[in-house]
Structure 1
Amino acid sequence: MTHDGFELGLHDINNAGVYAIGNEDVAPLSAAMRDAGLRICRIDLAGCSDKRTLLMRLAAQLDFPSGFGGNWDALADSLRDLQWLPANGYALFFNDADDLRAGASADFDTLLDILDEASAHWSGQNVPFWAFVALQDAAVER
């Protein structure tokens, strides 16, 4: 590991996006992101194998406003807003995402698409938005 967190180029907003990592990489990478001045949010997905549980965990861990609709559109809207979590940038860590990928692959793919859209949105605002999905098989490319 390098000083900037796995040579991701943390200071180049164009590198922000969605990445698959190993569970063992969560702690050191989150420390690098914290040191880069980003707000760290960890979402534990152990045992999560459906959309409803996923959205509930996201709402709880990211402290979504009480009016959160609990659907994909509401998730996309919330991730593009985050006014209740002011920061210079964001790094979301989805620990143990294997159960979701195995149990609800279409929902897993939708989550990745929404995270990618959120990252592009924040990039347009000149705010880095990183999402790291921790998997047993981190060689899975997105």
Structure 2
Amino acid sequence: MSAQELGALLADASQNGAYFIDVRDREGLEEIARGLGFAVAAIDFAGCDGRDEVLERFAAALRFPEWFGGNWDALADCLGDLSWWPADGYLLLLDHAGAWRVSEPFDFATLLEILNDAAMSWSAQRLPFWALVPLSAAALDEVLEPG
């Protein structure tokens, strides 16, 4: 897919959601999103040992307001608001999430559900919102063809 086609895809709010991508595509997608005027946040999951740490990293990367409660509901509330961070769209990059995804599958599934719910909410407002999980080719194959 060309850069122009990727830009059109990212700008299409009807396609909002949380997606797994090949880590080799990460930089290009970030560059395209920035070119579209998107707010971009990288949340580094390296070394995460639990949900609380994931929530702290989200809060820091997205500069959540002081009222952030540090739980899944508060994350959903903040991702559905983002009034403190106005932009033409949003791109969240969940870097190095592979190990945490494997060690905490229930919490990871909860996080994806929250991200997809936020994406659908933003889609209704016609504002692009993407959460991308860059994975190695081998890990991506496992996700796409489990078992």
Q: TM-score, normalised by structure 1?
A: 0.91
Q: SS at the partner of 1:85? A: coil
Deviation at 1:39, TM superposition (A): 1.1
List gaps (5 residues or longer) in structure 1: none
* Cα distance in 2, alignment partners of residues 98 and 6 from structure 1: 24
Change in CA separation of 1:128 and 1:7 when aligned onto 2, cut-off 3 Å: closer
Which residue of 2 is the match for residue 33 of structure 1?
33
More divergent stretch after superposition (6-15 vs 80-89): 6-15
Deviation at 1:6, TM superposition (A): 4.7
More divergent stretch after superposition (24-33 vs 108-117): 24-33
Q: How many residues align?
A: 141
More divergent stretch after superposition (107-116 vs 126-135): 126-135
Structure with greater helix share of residues: 2
More divergent stretch after superposition (69-78 vs 20-29): 20-29
Q: Say whether 1:111 aligns with 2:111.
A: yes
Q: SS at the partner of 1:121? A: helix
Which residue of 1 is the match for residue 130 of structure 2?
130
Deviation at 1:52, TM superposition (A): 0.8
Which residue of 1 is the match for residue 59 of structure 2?
59
User: Structure 1: which amino acid aligns with 2:83?
Assistant: Q
Which residue of 1 is the match for residue 84 of structure 2?
84
Contact 1:49-1:101 within 8 A present in 2 as well = no
Q: Deviations over 1:38-89 (max 9, x none)?
A: 1111111111131011001001111111121100000000000011111111
Deviation at 1:135, TM superposition (A): 2.0
* Cα distance in 1, alignment partners of residues 48 and 114 from structure 2: 18
Which residue of 1 is the match for residue 74 of structure 2?
74
List gaps (5 residues or longer) in structure 2: none
More divergent stretch after superposition (119-128 vs 6-15): 6-15
Contact 1:26-1:95 within 8 A present in 2 as well = no
* Cα distance in 2, alignment partners of residues 114 and 21 from structure 1: 18
Deviation at 1:8, TM superposition (A): 6.8
* Cα distance in 2, alignment partners of residues 100 and 130 from structure 1: 20
Q: SS at the partner of 1:138? A: helix
Q: SS at the partner of 2:11? A: coil
RMSD between aligned residues: 1.7
Contact 2:14-2:126 within 8 A present in 1 as well = no
